[in-house]
Structure formats: structure tokens, C-alpha cells
């Protein structure tokens, strides 16, 4: 493929554009006749192999960005979650409070010493008698939606909320600043 001279558009633009471009990835538009146009500040190097991803799908670059942000949030020590200090607890807190929450629920019924676990898609499908128990947390568990099952739009929304939460809680590490710069995030 042959590039078009002067087609490098730079790194400007909105956060959505930067998130769609991905973290440390270049955006390339494939044109007719084995040509391409580079849409990011990085350009492909001659003789180097690249793996292409569809920019319209939930991507590995979004996955890397999400996990890099989570790791930096965890390392900063200023995250607001309660209930543990491990990375997995923070990830689950983010998915529950900033992400898509639960994709199913399991609950227990007890009939004459017979315990039965049932799974439903929506919280309202759990019988009202169980939902109204004062100690319902002992009988009901939500299953957080897997990051792999998030759509591109859901990932972008969660990443945006995560960045805003990190800024609101005072994350100001050099790596966080570098991540924001790499994705073209404008704090103004």
C-alpha cells in the first residue's frame, strides 16, 4: 500500500475520536488501489508488520486503555471504593458503578431444607418475597457484565466515566498524564 503525502491528520480532535483510535494505535483509512491515509500522528514504518483492527468494533486497544487506566487508578491509592485494596476489587467497583453493572442475577430459595439456586436476567425477575428480605444480600448475587461482552459504545462510555472519576479523585501521576496525552484527551 502507498500512503498519500500530507494525509497525516495529527492527534487533535475530541476524546471520542481519540478513544476510537485507541491507546497507542494508529488510525489508518484504507483506500482504493492499495493506498491508505494515516489519520493519527503515528505513521507506519516501511518493512514492519501491523495487525489491523476494525475501528468500529470493541477493540483490543480499548481493552488495553481500560486496564492501563485501572492499573494507574489502583497504584495512585486515591480510588473511592471500599471493601479491599486489590486490583480485582477496584475493577469490579468500576464495572458496577461506572460500567454496565450486572448482566444476570442468582438467588437462593429454601424449601424444607432444599436449597435451590436460580439464575435470572433481571433483578425484577427475582420473587418479591426474596427481594424484600432484610438480609437479601445473603440470598441474591449479581453477575457483573464481562468487559469482553461490552460493546464499543459501552466501553467508550465506561472509559470516559473512569477518566472523569480519576480526575475528580485527584489522580495526577505522570503515567496518567501520559495516557491522557496519548489518547488526545482534553481536560478543558
Q: What is the pLDDT along the chain (188 residues), one digit of tens a residue?
A: 333 223 233 333 334 433 443 445 677 888 898 888 887 777 788 888 777 766 666 578 888 899 999 999 998 888 776 555 788 889 999 999 999 999 999 999 988 888 899 999 999 999 999 999 999 999 999 999 999 999 989 999 999 999 999 999 999 999 999 999 888 887 76
Closest to 66 measured CA to CA, from 152, 173, 143: 152
pTM more than 0.85: no
Query: What per-residue confidence (pLDDT) applies to 177?
Result: 92
Cα 149 from chain centroid? Answer: 11
According to DSSP, the residues that pair with 144 across neighbouring strands are: 102
User: CA-CA distances (angstroms) from residue 133 to 35, 66, 118, 138, 139?
Assistant: 64, 36, 17, 9, 9
Closest to 159 measured CA to CA, from 40, 12, 23: 23
Amino acid at each position: 500500500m502507498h500512503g498519500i503525502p500530507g494525509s497525516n491528520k495529527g492527534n487533535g480532535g475530541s476524546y471520542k475520536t481519540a478513544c476510537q483510535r485507541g491507546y497507542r494505535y494508529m488510525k489508518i483509512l484504507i483506500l482504493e488501489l492499495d493506498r491508505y491515509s494515516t489519520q493519527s500522528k503515528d505513521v507506519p514504518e516501511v518493512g514492519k508488520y501491523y495487525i489491523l483492527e476494525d475501528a468500529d468494533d470493541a477493540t483490543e486497544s480499548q481493552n488495553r486503555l481500560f486496564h492501563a487506566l485501572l492499573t494507574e487508578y489502583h497504584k495512585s491509592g486515591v480510588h473511592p471504593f471500599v471493601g479491599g485494596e486489590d486490583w480485582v476489587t477496584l475493577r469490579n467497583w468500576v464495572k458496577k458503578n461506572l460500567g454496565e453493572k450486572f448482566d444476570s442475577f442468582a438467588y437462593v430459595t429454601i424449601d424444607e431444607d432444599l436449597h435451590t439456586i436460580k439464575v435470572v436476567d433481571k433483578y425484577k425477575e427475582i420473587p418479591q418475597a426474596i427481594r424484600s428480605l432484610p438480609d437479601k444480600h445473603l440470598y441474591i448475587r449479581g453477575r457483573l457484565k464481562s468487559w469482553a461482552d461490552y460493546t464499543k459504545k459501552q466501553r467508550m462510555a465506561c472509559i470516559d466515566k473512569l477518566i472523569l472519576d480519576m480526575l475528580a479523585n485527584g489522580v495526577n501521576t505522570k503515567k496518567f498524564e501520559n495516557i491522557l496525552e496519548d489518547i488526545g484527551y482534553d481536560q478543558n
